[in-house]
Copies of this chain bind each other. A is one copy, B any other.
Amino acid sequence: MKDYKKSIQDYINNNKDKTIKLLERLVKEDSISGNESKAQAIVVEKLRELDLDLDIWEPAIEELKDHPYFISARENFNGSPNIVATLKGTSGGKSMILNGHIDVVPEGNIQQWTYPPYGAIVKDNKLYGRGATDMKGGNVALILAIEAIKQSGITLKGDVHFQSVIEEESGGAGTLAAILRGYKADGVIIPEPTNMKFFIKQQGSMWFRLKVKGKVAHGGTRYEGVSAIEKSLLVIQQIQKLEQLRNDRIDDPLYDGVPIPIPINIGTINGGTWPSSVSDLVTLEGRYGVAPNEKMEDAKKEFERWIENLGNLDEWFLDHPVEVEWFGARWVPGSVEADNELVKTLLHNYHHITEQKPIIEAAPWGTDGGLFTQVLDIPMIVFGPGETKVAHYPDEFIDLDQMFLAAEIIACTLIDWCKVQEQHEGEGVYENEKVL
């Protein structure tokens, strides 16, 4: 048996500049939601070079909209193609989906960037730009993994589907579309930025909007009104209690040392129109963390019940209930057992290549991975280059060495998972045919 893994390593080492160029081209495209096509075109060009089977389509909202996990603020996905590229196996091995999203969040306040957000500047072996770590660096690691296998002349038995999807940042419509199109496999790797740690569980989340009512009055006689701002204090305190209760329930040792495994974050508050008027409306928006093994629907109901209970604390809420709306983004939770074959294979290769002890954690954020576990019930693991803490922030960057290392680990995992079609096996068949 040839040392395939050595070939992989050599290929990656010999093709770093070319790979960085690919990442540069991708980061230079501001592929925010609705604007993914140019970045996807670069992906397609690369995948064609590798001679993979390509499936390129714009998801049809009609086919998605009734799915319980569908969420999107868009009316259609015209001009926003999904891509699935398949490296067909010879059969007899396990299949794998390698999933990455092409969409990025907006650059935010340009003044806060030292490097231009779409400049793809390389400095000290880091590439800077929006999406570098979340997650174009991860996508390039996936492409490089497949490229290294293919160009090293390795033939796999199991199929590998590389998915370059849209809409992850807005709730996963791109991955859901790929699932509903029929793509499935024996395992899924998503190289979101875990800083090379292994996230075997992931928090789900959904966004809520609360409308807290008051009664307007002049500030000088504020006792004639009811302040929605004061009532919001009770609402916030109620949510804090719910967060406590929900987190007290979590006994998974994976969460030891995590102060709040599934936080409820109240991210925005807005109310009142005039300093000297009593405000009659406060709007709170936030993110509601969902436990890896929890049903979205159950989590939602618990929250709604808790808000309803405000009436027991303050009669005002009986006649003026707080309105709860679920809006915007939503990510379903996901989990895989630590002794799952997928996890073990990936960890083995990590350890073999890095000679370091792998770190296993629970993800504090959701990915499209939850869709694979909840809709298809297939094992999924999140493992990738780059640090979460720079994602969505100014001067986002990716460590290029991590990207190459991730590509190597993933390529070697594919070799173990999908199995290699050995040359002599092929010859054997040929010999048998000759015999017949």
Contact = CB atoms under 8 A, between A and B. Distances in A.
A222 interface: yes
A213 to B, nearest CB: 15
Contacts of A389: 218, 224
Nearest to A270: B270
Nearest to A227: B266
A393 to B, nearest CB: 8
A275 B265 contact: yes
Interface stretch (A22-30, A284-292, A336-344): A284-292
Contacts of A227: 265-266
A259 B205 contact: no
A382 interface: no
**Could you tell me the dominant secondary structure of chain A's interface residues?**
mixed
Given A222-B265, A224-B389, 17 more contacts: A205-B276, A218-B389, A219-B265, A219-B286, A220-B366, A221-B388, A229-B236, A229-B267, A233-B233, A265-B278, A266-B272, A266-B279, A267-B275, A268-B274, A269-B272, A275-B328, A276-B287
A275 B268 contact: yes
B267 A364 contact: no
Nearest to A207: B275
A218 B275 contact: no
A282 interface: yes
A328 B277 CA distance: 14
A226 interface: no
A364 B218 contact: yes
What are the 10 tightest A-B residue pairs by CB atom distance, in nearest-first order? A219-B265, A268-B272, A276-B287, A220-B364, A219-B287, A220-B365, A223-B259, A275-B285, A267-B275, A222-B263
Given A205-B276, A259-B223, A276-B287, A365 B218 contact: yes
Interface in A320-341: 328-329
A14 interface: no
A82 interface: no
A272 B267 contact: yes
A227 B389 CA distance: 17
B276 A207 contact: yes
Interface string A94-112: 0000000000000000000
A230 interface: yes
A392 interface: yes
A263 B229 contact: no
Given A236-B229, A286-B275, A222 B269 contact: no
A432 interface: no
A205 B265 CA distance: 35
A366 B276 CA distance: 11
Interface centre among A260, A286, A366 (most CB of B within 10 A): A286
